[in-house]
A and B are shown apart, each in its own frame.
Chain A
Amino acid sequence: MSDVETRFHRFKDLPSTQLLGTGTPMCAGCGGLQALHEIYDVLGEKTVFVNAAGCMTLLSVYPFTPFRGSWLYTAMASAPAGAQGVRDALDILLEQERMPPEEDLRVVVLTGDGAAYGMGLSATSGAIERGLDFLYIVYDNEGYGNTGQQYSGATPHAARTATSRMGGGFRGDKKDLFDIWVAHRPAYAATVIGAEPLDLARKVERAMAIKGPKLILALAPCPTGWDFDPKLTVDIGRLAVRTGIWPLKEYVDGRVVHSKTPHPRKPVKEYLSLQGRFAHLFEPQRNAAELTRMQAKVDEYWADPAT
């Protein structure tokens, strides 16, 4: 991204406005809330959030809200449809000159991975197809966290969840939502993480300058669902990037570019061993075969990361 104009060159350029209010019912150490407050500080106050049911539904529970502006709650599958309605209403008000252009709002979907990777996929696909001008923020904690971490389409291989407690954990693989978006040829798509606030701020800034459907996909380390000490949220987030498990990248102008290439990559076991959901890979016996396969998968990705 070095060729792009940005106001975020170093950490001191990050906003210190703290637009998002305190006192939310998110868990202590929530990686999703961390990403959200960083994103909100870049987006600014003129936003309307359309929230698919999930953990963050609890952000605004009457009569409390941490947002400075409007927030609309939808069922899990219908946040993009809600966003379409809000965008259309704003456009009509603008067209009929019932609202001055400076009062226009950005329409932002806020969704967890349960809705984004599963139930909400069809509505999202439709919204991208229609070229809806919206920002789609996913806080991906790799499971249905608000109901006790049942597996979702985003759960990674071998993670223990409430619905895959025994044996080797979840047998499937994490769906690639970034690639699903890219296959739609959206205006913009990026992966981010709260533990890398500068990279995140640049991507949100870039997305704001582009019209059309835009994805900000944030990996959200989850102390409750992933079973780790809340103070490790940032360490685990950084390790997700440095082991190559969570590639930081963006899709813009028709191609995918990595904004950070971890070099040398740390072994994936450093990321896995900090989390209770992967403890069965290390205790009582070390599952060397599984760990080797998981490492090989990451190595395979980085052997040809451009695609």
Chain B
Amino acid sequence: MTALGFCDVRVSYNGIEAVQSFNDLLHSGEWLCLIGPNGAGKSSVLRAAAGLVPYSGSIAIDQKEIPATSARWRAQHIAYVPQSPLIPLDMNVFDYVLLGRNPYVRHFSWETKHDKEVVGDVLERLDLNAFARRSLGTLSGGEVQRLVIARALAQEAPVLLLDEPTSALDIGHQQQALELVDKLRREQGLTVVSAMHDLTLAGMYADRLVLMHQGARVAEGSAKDVLQPNILSEFYGVSARVHHEDDGTVVVIPQRISTR
């Protein structure tokens, strides 16, 4: 079953094409990771799907095309976690996660008891219950990242978009955040599209990698297929070694060019 489909999706900014004809079909529960150098168009694909930039072509969920006019419908089906979320420091954790229920609340109405139960449930599952009444300004970076994911989960959308979910986290919190997404994906069949710079982590968690360069897809497949020294050197301009672990993990290690 196709959970998310991109058909000839193009994004341009002021006449410059940032994404050239992006096509993809994701099945339910799949994790697709977009990789590529800065400016390759990864974020633009995610932002198009989240309805934040105008695009041509169509994006469909469960084979139903997303209506261009209904931001609410889109938000009920796609949750988006931006690269650097804007955190209102004086808002409390519960109220922040409650914002995720906005797509279900009629415009001039209020959240229902059910909405609050959903939030309570999400906080419980993500071990954030103890924080519920704390203000966001008192949380650490790792806690905030979990919180933003919690807000996205409160949207109860089948598709989760993550733009650089781990770039601001230390190695431990990177692992925690990605494990969390992976767990949710397995438990709830969430379909995940993420953009990531850390190639080793991308290869470890995603089912499939798509390498983008100047708006076009240039390679795709498993970590083993895509993370090859010659491919990385061609599109990232990097000289890197690729190490294959026994468990199938592909580790990308950049090499020093200058000699000591």
A associates with B: no
Interface of A toward B, CB cutoff 8 Å: none
